[in-house]
């Protein structure tokens, strides 16, 4: 849904970083996306391929590291992991009193440029 | 050519967050409580604003409204009929509002002594939950006709909302659902935020939410008028 907005941010941030390092071409972008971030990674990859044209990233490959959503249950204390955000329910005790420990991140880790 | 390995470590939405923080500073300098209204299309966001802004006016809390829509100015026209200052944002296909759009829209207001800024987000339960706009509170709106399963299907919004409004409750007698069914589902995800039941058929149903807004205003800006 909003993957195009996310790709535009990736292009803007990485272009700025490359320029600061006197590079003129980006060959690789590595990002981390949590399962709890509302991003469809397949759509993100397609949007990236369409939008990178006529930018410094024209030849760039997008590497996506997916990290699981970690839920901490306040009822039984257990931590559960999931590769999708399907529910906030604790799989052990079925309580919904859970806190998102991690897995909502959307981060640009690094770029390889020349 | 030499290859450079450049560590970036920047959150993808950092610019939006920073612009959101700047928005918040501006809102606070103008003493505006800012509310981000998020719901599905057709849940009753505009109807809610049409009904609560006159009540707030009577209590000395006049409002500003930013209307976010993919297309048309129909919502803004409805709000303008109520003599409420309203600026329309057309996103042209973008499914959510972003901080930068809010700043540009906000610059169009001729602010007098308004106390509350309502941002009516684009009708969507997913994307708007990811984009901070500089608001003080996120308010989730759910109409009874959408079904009681929506909180569990869109958990992020209902988990984060500081208040949840159940709208169109006058239609409950025609559904196979009770108000308890909805409250149970919302409470699974959100134990503490207040839930208010409203209906345009009963103007009194809005008072509790109006009181909640006024209390929020006082808790941020103090009681001195």
Task: Give the confidence band of B220 by pLDDT, cuts at 50, 70, 90.
Answer: very high
Tell me what pLDDT residue B189 has.
87
Domain regions of chain A by residue span: 2-113
Q: Which tens digit of pLDDT belongs to each residue from B9-61?
A: 999 999 999 999 999 999 999 999 999 999 999 999 999 999 999 999 999 99
State the Cα torsion B38-B44-B46-B52 to the nearest 10°: -100
The pLDDT assigned to B224 comes to 63
Residue range B60-85: mean pLDDT, rounded: 95
Check whether B223 has a pLDDT greater than 90. no
Separation CA B3–CA A111 (nearest Å):
10
What are the residue boundaries of the structural domains of chain B, listed by start?
12-221
DSSP alpha helix (H) spans, B12-122: 14-29, 45-58, 74-80, 99-106
pLDDT of residue A42: 95
pLDDT for the residue B111 = 95
Nearest chain A Cα to B9, which residue?
Answer: A109
Burial of residue B215, with CB atoms counted within 10 A of its CB: 0-12 exposed, 13-18 middle, 19 or more buried: exposed
User: Mean pLDDT per 10-residue run, chain A (114 residues)?
Assistant: 91 97 97 93 96 97 97 96 86 91 96 97
Query: Do the chains contact at A1 and B127, CB–CB below 8 Å?
Result: yes
Reply yes or no on whether the pLDDT at B225 is more than 60: no
Nearest CA in chain A to B126: A38
In terms of residues, how long is chain B? Answer: 225
Q: What is the pLDDT of residues A67-87, one digit of tens each?
A: 999 999 999 999 999 998 777
Query: Percentage of residues in chain B with pLDDT exceeding 70?
Result: 99
**Tell me, which fold does domain A2-113 have in CATH?**
hypothetical protein PF0899 fold (3.30.2320)
More confident residue, B6 or A85: B6
Strand ranges across the sheet with B137-143: B85-90, B63-69, B116-120, B33-39, B137-143, B163-167, B195-197
Q: How many Cα atoms within 13 Å fall on the side-chain side of residue B201? A: 7
The arrangement of strands across the sheet holding A98-102 comes to A79-82, A69-73, A98-102
Among chain B, residues having any CB pair with chain A shorter than 8 Å are: 1-16, 94-96, 98, 124, 126-127, 129-131, 152, 155-156, 159, 188-189, 191
Domain B12-221: which topology?
Rossmann fold (3.40.50)
Nearest 10 degrees: CA dihedral of B136, B35, B125, B163?
Answer: 80
What pLDDT, in 10s, does the model give residues B90-142?
A: 999 899 999 999 999 999 999 999 999 999 999 999 999 999 999 999 999 99
From chain A, the residues in CB contact with B127 under 8 A are 1-2, 38
**DSSP per position, A46-99:** HHHHHHTTTSTTTTPEEEEEEE-EEEEETTT--EEEESS------TTT----EE
């Amino acid at each position: 849904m909003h993957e195009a907005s996310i790709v535009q941010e990736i292009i803007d941030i990485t272009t700025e970083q490359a320029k600061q390092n006197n590079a003129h071409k980006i060959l690789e972008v590595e990002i981390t996306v949590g399962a709890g971030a509302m991003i469809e990674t397949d759509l993100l990859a397609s949007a990236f391929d369409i939008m990178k044209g006529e930018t410094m990233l024209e030849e760039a490959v997008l590497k996506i590291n997916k990290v699981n959503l970690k839920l901490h249950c306040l009822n039984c204390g257990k931590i559960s992991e999931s590769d999708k955000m399907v529910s906030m329910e604790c799989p052990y005790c079925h309580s919904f009193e859970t806190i998102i420990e991690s897995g909502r991140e959307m981060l640009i880790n690094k770029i390889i440029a020349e | 050519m030499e290859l450079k390995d450049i560590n970036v470590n920047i959150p993808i939405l950092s610019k939006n967050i920073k612009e959101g923080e700047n928005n918040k500073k501006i809102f606070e300098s103008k003493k505006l409580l800012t509310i981000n209204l998020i719901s599905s299309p057709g849940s009753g966001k505009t109807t809610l604003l049409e009904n609560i802004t006159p009540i707030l006016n009577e209590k000395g809390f006049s409002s500003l409204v930013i209307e976010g829509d993919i297309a048309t100015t129909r919502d803004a026209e409805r709000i303008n009929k109520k003599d409420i200052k309203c600026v329309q944002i057309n996103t042209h296909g973008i499914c959510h509002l972003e901080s930068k759009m809010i700043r540009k829209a906000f610059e169009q207001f001729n602010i007098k002594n308004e106390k509350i800024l309502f941002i009516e987000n684009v009708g969507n339960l997913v994307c708007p939950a990811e984009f901070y706009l500089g608001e003080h509170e996120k308010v989730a709106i759910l109409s009874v006709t959408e079904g009681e399963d929506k909180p569990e299907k869109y958990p992020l919004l209902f988990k984060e909302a500081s208040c949840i409004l159940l709208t169109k409750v006058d239609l409950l007698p025609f559904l196979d659902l009770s108000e308890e069914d909805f409250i149970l589902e919302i409470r699974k995800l959100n134990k503490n935020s207040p839930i208010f039941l409203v209906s345009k058929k009963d103007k009194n149903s809005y008072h509790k939410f109006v009181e909640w807004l006024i209390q929020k205003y006082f808790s941020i800006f103090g009681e001195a008028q």
